[in-house]
Amino acid sequence: MAQLVRTLSEKPKSYLLRQVIFILLIALSLAFFGYCYLNPRSQKLESIQARANKIVRKIYHPQGVKLRRRVFPQPNVLRPSRRDVHVITPWLAPIIWEGTYNIDILNEQFRLQNTTIGLIVFAIKKHVIYLKRFLETAERYFMVGYKVNYYIFTDRPDHVPRIPLQNGRQVVILKVQSYSHSQNMSLHRMEVISNFSEQHFYREVDYLVCADVDMKFTEHVGVEILASLFGTLHPGFYGLNRTNFPYERRPQSQAQIPEDEGDFYYTGALFGGSVPEVHRLTKACHQAMMVDKDNRIEAVRREESHLNKYLLYHKPSKVLSPEYSWDKQMWENTGNQQLGDLPFYIKRIRLLIAK
């Protein structure tokens, strides 16, 4: 033993230092390995990442899914699809007119996403009489071939008509309070849509389309209208200078738009977008309307005024032409009927206000 101790003491000190460092490195490596591969939190993260990668591969590299081959003419960016109307906004959002899109290309895109659309309509009191015509024409022309939930807000659920539906479609009846005055209904419509977006629509649909019940579908209305946020040009004010728009101009109102501002005048009869965007829009409009109510002021065109204020400062990613909200009676009342049944820029009426 004495000889062994003496032998070890005779070894250089640098040799012992290297041995200690080597042992420490091994210990650190083992500790790192144990943390990374034996720690449950790390294993959970790895599992989540693996599932996410699997989902991404499934979406972008589908196995066993053969995509249909389609042949389309090559687009020509120097030749607009239409020259008689504006087809794009200053913020590069498309304006949807007849002849400005290829529905076959759009259908391929949205069917790959397995899109579900919610169509919201309010049928309060006597307006329930319009519901049968609205639903029957929607079944014929609205989002044909797609899954659709008809969300009907009404105070008369027993009066909702039963109509035959296409596969993948359903009517959802949602009972709401009956208001004594149309002003109160206008005040609370945005609130109701906002609340149900948060509570139900997020889980049930991808897009929401909010329409007036006194409209009827007269031509195809499909996925060409879908976007994160869309508004519809009001047929009565298309082509006018913004100084002639019926914006709310009083600074006391939350809907006020100054004289030197404004892009378009949008109708409140048709708007929509993705569920999160519609939730934000309706919540903001309702809050602004409640502030006006507390200040004892009502915007000149109620919720439509607040909608226009919102869309001015939150630009829609798509704008629908007056083809999607045509008012034949309004056009005739302008004295322009001698020019023919329709103005030159209307090629096809898709939604008609028909009280």
234 is in an annotated binding site: yes
CA distances from 54 to 49, 50, 61, 66, 294 (A): 8, 6, 10, 19, 53
CA distances from 92 to 88, 318, 324, 329 (A): 6, 9, 20, 32
**Residue 152 bridge partners (DSSP):** 121, 173
Cα 269 from Cα 271, distance rounded (Å)? 7
260 is in an annotated binding site: no
304 is in an annotated binding site: yes
Q: Is 303 among the residues known to form the active site? A: no
Cα 353 from Cα 355, distance rounded (Å)? 6
Contact 85, 96 (CB under 8 A): no
- Give the strand pairing for 207-211 and 116-123: parallel
Torsion of the alpha carbons at 209, 153, 143 and 345, rounded to the nearest 10:
-50
Query: CB count, 10 Å around CB of 286?
Result: 21
158 is in an annotated binding site: no
298 is in an annotated binding site: no
Of the candidates 224, 212, 207, the one whose C-alpha atom is nearest the C-alpha of residue 117 is 207
Find the DSSP H helices in 101-156: 103-112, 131-141
Choosing from 98, 139, 303, 304, which is the catalytic residue? 304
Torsion of the alpha carbons at 134, 140, 143 and 146, rounded to the nearest 10:
120
Angle at 40 between CA 36 and CA 43, to 5 degrees: 60
CA distances from 136 to 158, 163, 219, 285, 350 (A): 18, 7, 13, 31, 14
123 is in an annotated binding site: yes
Known catalytic residues are: 304
Residue ranges for the binding site? 122-124, 212-214, 234, 304, 327
Residue ranges for the binding site for Mn(2+)? 212, 214
Residue ranges for the binding site for UDP-N-acetyl-alpha-D-galactosamine? 122-124, 212-214
